[in-house]
Amino acid sequence: MPRTTYRFRVEGDLPAHAVDEFCDMRIEAVPASTILECTVVDESHLRGIFALMRSLGLTVVSARPVRR
């Protein structure tokens, strides 16, 4: 898997304690959700991001690669 930019949408606002966990991501609050965007280097990195979101109790609404 080549480096790919991903856009994740999670339900609701990102809790303050979670912002530090995603310091390497672009974070954008939008109505009723939060968008996080970052470059994913490989499949294990992608799985790690999902595991982190799950451990923080976030509900992932979508996760999509971004076409540039």
- Alpha-helical (H) ranges within 1-68 are 16-19, 43-55
| Side-chain-facing half-sphere of 59: CA atoms under 13 Å | 6
What mean pLDDT do residues 47-53 have? 97
What mean pLDDT do residues 7-11 have? 98
How many structural domains comprise the chain? Answer: 1
| Side-chain-facing half-sphere of 31: CA atoms under 13 Å | 0
In this structure, the chain runs to a length of 68
Structural domain of 22: 4-65
Write the pLDDT tens digit of every residue in 12-48: 999 888 889 998 999 999 999 999 999 999 999 999 9
Paired tokens of 45: 């990195």
Residue with tokens 């304690």: 17
Report the pLDDT value the prediction gives residue 35, as an integer from 0 to 100. Answer: 97
**CATH number, residue 36:** 3.30.70.600
pLDDT, greater one: 62 or 23: 62
